[in-house]
Structures are given as C-alpha cells and as structure tokens.
Amino acid sequence: AQSVTQLDSQVPVFEEAPVELRCNYSSSVSVYLFWYVQYPNQGLQLLLKYLSGSTLVKGINGFEAEFNKSQTSFHLRKPSVHISDTAEYFCAVSRVQGGSEKLVFGKGTKLTVNP
Amino acid sequence: KAGVTQTPRYLIKTRGQQVTLSCSPISGHRSVSWYQQTPGQGLQFLFEYFSETQRNKGNFPGRFSGRQFSNSRSEMNVSTLELGDSALYLCASSLEGGGGPTGELFFGEGSRLTVL
C-alpha cells in the first residue's frame, strides 16, 4: 500500500530564505506524486505534480520538487520565500483502489515565514 | 468558471444529532470526493462518487454516508454524531476522478463541523 511521510510538522523560516519541505513515500509500484497548499481558512490547491518524465517538476508560485526514485523522496523547494507563502503544505500519492484512483495525503507541514 | 462550493461553511451540532453537508462541483465535473481533515489525523479519504455511483470508500464507520445526484452535486451525511467527528470536511471535484493521471482535484473551502 502506498503511504506518505512528511518529516517535519512545522518549518519556520525568515523571509527571502530558501526552504525545503521533505516528503518520503512508500510504494511497490509506479507512483504519481503531488504537492498541495492550504492557506488559512481555505481548501487545498495543487502546487505541482509528477506523473512521468523529467524528475524536476516546476509548479506555481516559484515552487519546484524533485522526484528521487532511489531515495523514494519528493521534496518541495523554493529558493526565496515570501510572507505570503505561510500556509500548510501536503504531499500526496495517487493510489488505485477498486478500479479508481484516490489521493493519499501526508499529515502536512506548516510553513511559517517570518519578517 | 465557478469553483467547488460547499455549504454550510460552519455548523455546530450536539452529540447524537445528524448532519448533512452539500457540495456543488465545478460545472462538467463528474467525480466528487470527500475528505475529513483533523489536526491529529490529517486528511483522510471518506468516499468518491462518479456518475451517481460510489466508486471508492475509505475506512470510516457506516455512520458516514454520501450520495450524488444526476447534476453531480453531492451530499454527505453523518448520523449519531460523536465528539470525534469535529473536523473540516472537504469536497473535491474532478473530471474523471481520483486526482492522479485521470484528473486534477479541485477543492472547496470546506464545511467546519463542531460537535459539542
């Protein structure tokens, strides 16, 4: 069964600093990986996804992630964060069950960007 | 294009009552998924409906149920509410389902349920 582990529950950083949010997955089959962001009092929004092809995936708002099959990781990075990036970030893997897909989410990482 | 709409946004119930939450998907989307979000358990999959049929189900007790109408709107119901049902319930729609290669999930803002 596929599962997702987000190694840090909270990550505080200063504005304009780089950030990396870590995600590891477990799966015995091909995987499709995602990062979603949730701003306060809002639903989730897709940041980026890896389905196949290039292992470096670029998303919205300057975020990117690298799929590393040997380390079963899909870490999210941004070279310079803004106050507006303060949010909770969820890593997810797509799992096929009962003939259809569903997303299995990690427990989330709260990113706080301080001035 | 209007996004996913969930109603009500906030509600308070007492133990033993039941609640019905509504979700209107993006126009043209046939799949609706429901998730429960709590601080302790994170996001947990409840069920997915596609063309009025439940296609996938998570590990929740039978008190949690749902349905989908011919216009793709969906409702979920929780009966005999318990304190632990307090959570943000998120609905997500997609064209074909799942959120993976078959289609991106678009989330609503959620219905926050508090059980006293």
pLDDT per position as a tens digit, A58-77: 999 999 999 999 999 999 99
Task: Kindly give, in sequence order, each residue whose CB lies less than 8 Å from that of residue A75, ignoring residues fewer than 6 positions away.
Answer: A20, A21, A22, A23, A65, A66, A68
Q: Report yes or no: B73 and B55 within 8 Å, Cβ to Cβ.
A: no
Which residues lie below 8 Å from residue A110, measured CB to CB, with a gap of 6+? A9, A10, A11, A87, A88, A89
Amino acid present at A54: S
Chains A & B: contacts with CB separation below 8 Å: 72
Is B67 at the interface with chain A, CB within 8 A? no
CB contact under 8 A, A102 and B99: yes
Is pLDDT above 90 for A28? Answer: no
Would the pLDDT of A101 be above 80?
Answer: no
pLDDT on residue B101: 66
B39 close contact with A: CB closer than 8 A: no
Q: Do B42 and A108 touch (CB under 8 A)?
A: yes
B100 touches chain A (CB under 8 A): yes
Buried/exposed A99-114: b ≥16 CB within 10 Å, e otherwise: ebbbbbbbbbbebebe
Q: Say which DSSP state B102 is in.
A: T
Q: With an 8 Å Cβ cutoff, is A49 touching chain B?
A: yes
- Over residues B75-107, the pLDDT tens digits come to 999 999 999 999 999 999 998 776 666 678 899
Tokens read off for A99: 């003939």
Look at residues A87, A98, A40, A32 and name the one whose alpha carbon lies nearest to residue A65: A32
Instruction: Tell me if A98 and B97 make a contact (CB, 8 A cut-off).
Output: no
Q: Which of A7, A74, A105, A29 is nearest to B92 (CA)?
A: A105
- The residues pairing with A46 across neighbouring beta strands, listed in sequence order, are A36
CA B72 to chain centre: 13
- CB contact under 8 Å between B43 and A41, yes or no, is no
Has residue A99 got a pLDDT over 80?
no
Does A43 contact B99 at a Cβ distance shorter than 8 Å? no
| pLDDT: which is higher, B17 or A27 | B17
Q: CA nearest A110 in B: which residue?
A: B39
Closest approach of chain A CAs to the CA of B25, in angstroms?
13
Judged against a pLDDT cut of 70, whether residue A98 lies above it is answered with no
Least confident of A26-30, A93-97, B109-113: A26-30
User: What type of residue is B35?
Assistant: Y
Three-state secondary-structure class, residue A109: strand
Which has more confidence, B47 or B103?
B47
Exposure string (b/e) for B47-79, b if CB count within 10 Å is 16 or more? bbbbeeeebbebebeeebbbebeeebebbbebe
Which of A41, A90, A102 is closest, CB to CB, to B33?
A102
> pLDDT over 70 for what percent of chain B?
94
